[in-house]
Amino acid sequence: MFEKVLIANRGEIACRIMATLRRLGIGSVAVYSEADAKSAHVALAGEAYAIGPAPAAESYLKIDAVLAAAKRAGAQAIHPGYGFLSENADFAEACARAGIVFIGPPPEAIRAMGSKSAAKDLMAKAGVPLVPGYHGGKQDAKHLAAEAKRIGFPVLIKASAGGGGKGMRIVERPGDFTEALSSAKREAAAAFGDDRVLLEAYLPSPRHIEIQIFADSHGNAVHLFERDCSIQRRYQKVIEEAPAPGMTAERRAEMGAAAVAAAKACGYTGAGTVEFIVQDDKFFFMEMNTRLQVEHPVTEMITGQDLVEWQLRVVCGQTLPCTQDQLAIHGHAMEVRLYAEDPARGFMPATGCLTRLKFPDTNAHLRLDAGVRQGDTVPVHYDPMLAKLIVWGRDRAAALARLRTALAGIEIVGVTANTAFLAAIAAHPAYGAAEIDTGFIPKYIEELIPAPAPASDEVLAVACLAELLHRRAESVALAVRSSDPYSPWHDTAGWRLNVDTHSRLAFLDAGNEVVVTVSYREAGYLLALHDTEISAAGVLDEDGAMRVELDGRRFPAAVVRHEGDLIVLLRGASHRLHLADPLEAVADEAETVGRVLAPMPGKVVQLCVKPGDTVERGAPLVVLEAMKMEHRLTAAADGTVGEVFYAAGDLVEEGAELLIVEDNHAGGAA
């Protein structure tokens, strides 16, 4: 086994590989771009080396830079992870020339499977079933149009050299073929430097099922069962599970044998995945991925095997750790991919600082492969995946229940994430019933991404309670620091002489104002909103975590202050509210009537002007103290101070008229 391995990757896969290296007592070496200098995988590694600027083409894809780092570190091997250089035959050959072991299949196998057309030719010779189509070398538009007509519409155009949905078009009618072909070729050339395409019969509602295979250099090859990856959007996987729902033992054996035949046909060693599309009672070869897959943890969860350890042992010349007969399925596992993206905006990637990042606690049945920490910045240069959440249960129902609970425990603030979208899929009755295929998300998109709804009374009550508890904590801290900590002015219970103890909080929810009237009670607050009264109490921690009690019902929540707003995190969903500044409303009114009103009950701590004073717009007029916070009221326009109704030290009610400013230019009140 190796003493030191360099991981030519970043993010969660680099961290995941390091976990196995650490368990085996192997030293880990990280590489990083300028954008990743403070990233999680750099912090976890035994040592790390800078390899270039932020763009991947100038760092993670630079073969010379990666090899130079391996030489400096004295690494005997390089693990490429997935993406970047993982399926680059030139990189595998360069490693061999440098005397460094490439932890992956032989370059010849990578090349054989790198072209979809060549791979299909090889699979046809090996007897692996193929989707009816054309994957020949003639690429002129006339010939391809004729082949499409022979196959029958609808037909699928696919880039021969790549994946991920790039260079892929569905053509419903013959008249649309020429334009779709030109578009697919342009996109393929831009993405892969190769505009060749293949054609396949378009299967309208297939399932995407892949088989995990492993082979060693001694002629042994096994499959580690299947994964169902049918929940996709734009050909990108969203949720994966193992085993595939509804898979019979006979079909599993048949598909597993076909996958092993595919591996042997190209002289494969190491980890690989043979992907099939399944329509009704037939399955067809789609492609082979010559690397570890993103979704490999679900296979690890149901087999109890560490596939990275298998990779290390096989590349060192050892035989496979298990024979086919020794492998068995235990329970059911599911994985969701947590992305920094906005589903409501077409899954647009999001960037920014993760000001709050909280995941559920891991255990034997809940695994988290994460590449970020709280406080990290999600850069614009790379894939926006934050983490993978993997759960296990004794059966599919148990795994799904655990997934739903785990998703509800995720808190992300600072970057828009797809958590609520994933939770909506997990909660959908059709997913629960395993009624899934690759058209699941488009079919139910309106249910999975509903139109924005106003904050519920529960969300508003939690936000209001958080603000009240925050003010109380600030008051206590201020009292401790003051010269008179026992002064009644430190009290935030809303006490006023001969008046009911109440105040008002106004929230802006998507531009709509919602006013909550707060009445103070001995054991908490009574909140009046939307013609409803809610008894509220609770505890607020410094990090925003809350223990809430509403009308006797207790539950956890969190409220985080971000960019001047309150982010309410409740049961896996987040809602953004803006606590309206009452001074803004005062200023708006002052511009028309010139009356300066108290935005809330409090005490006048300073009068900055006296009758007859000339003031300019923005000049301070009165300083009001409320909830132990000072609020400075300013002139809305140039003018002259008229009558002043209160003095320093006076207590005032909300809405009390404090003074008047006459508008010098208008000849009247400002």
pLDDT of residue 78: 98
Find out if CATH 3.40.50.410 is the number for domain 332-451: no
Is residue 291 part of the annotated active site? The answer reads yes
CATH code that applies to domain 114-131+208-330: 3.30.470.20
The answer to whether residues 314 and 217 touch, using CB atoms and an 8 Å cutoff, is yes
pLDDT of residue 500: 53
pLDDT of residue 587: 42
Residues 500-551 pLDDT 10s: 567 899 999 988 899 999 999 888 999 999 889 999 999 999 999 999 999 9
Positions of CATH 3.30.470.20 in the chain: 114-131+208-330, 332-451
Higher pLDDT, 170 or 502: 170
| CATH of 457-579 among 3.40.190.80, 3.30.700.30, 2.40.30.260, 1.10.8.50 | 3.30.700.30
CB atoms within 10 A of CB 565: 16
Share of the chain above pLDDT 70, in %: 92
- pLDDT score of 191 more than 90: no
Interacting residues of 281 by C-beta distance below 8 A, sequence separation 6+: none
Positions of CATH 3.30.1490.20 in the chain: 132-201
Strands 77-79 and 4-7: parallel
3-state secondary structure 582-639: HHHHHHHHHHHHCEEECCCCEEEEEECCCCCCEECCCCEEEEEEECCEEEEEECCCCE
Find out if CATH 3.40.50.20 is the number for domain 4-103: yes
Share of the chain above pLDDT 90, in %: 71
d(CA 309, CA 318): 11
pLDDT of residue 114: 81
pLDDT of residue 488: 56
d(CA 466, CA 505): 12
The CATH class given to the 582-669 domain equals mainly beta
d(CA 640, CA 669): 9
Q: Helices 249-265 and 116-125 sit at what angle, rounded to 10 degrees?
A: 110
- pLDDT score of 670 more than 60: no
Return mean pLDDT, the chain: 90
pLDDT of residue 498: 44
pLDDT of residue 601: 66
- pLDDT score of 632 more than 90: no
Q: Can you tell me the mean pLDDT for 576-586?
A: 70
Q: pTM of the full predicted structure?
A: 0.81
Cα distances (Å, whole numbers) of residue 314 to 22, 317, 414, 562, 638: 18, 5, 42, 49, 81
Q: Can you tell me the mean pLDDT for 6-15?
A: 97
d(CA 85, CA 77): 14
Residues 596-610 pLDDT 10s: 888 766 789 889 999
- pLDDT score of 476 more than 70: yes
- Annotated catalytic residue: which of 10, 16, 252, 291? 291
| CATH fold of the domain at 132-201 | Dna Ligase; domain 1 (3.30.1490)
pLDDT of residue 605: 85
pLDDT winner (highest mean) among 164-168, 485-489, 553-557: 553-557
pLDDT of residue 589: 42
pLDDT of residue 610: 94
Q: Can you tell me the mean pLDDT for 279-292?
A: 91
pLDDT of residue 455: 94
pLDDT of residue 287: 87
Q: Which of 613, 668, 669, 608 is nearest to 640 (CA)?
A: 613
Q: Can you tell me the mean pLDDT for 271-299?
A: 94
Positions of CATH 3.30.700.30 in the chain: 457-579
H helix runs in 77-176, sequence order: 89-97, 107-114, 116-125, 141-151
- pLDDT score of 624 more than 90: no
Higher pLDDT, 592 or 199: 199
Which stretch of 149-153, 212-216, 520-524, 582-586 has the lowest confidence by average pLDDT?
A: 582-586
Positions of CATH 3.40.50.20 in the chain: 4-103
The answer to whether residues 623 and 608 touch, using CB atoms and an 8 Å cutoff, is yes
The answer to whether residues 631 and 664 touch, using CB atoms and an 8 Å cutoff, is no
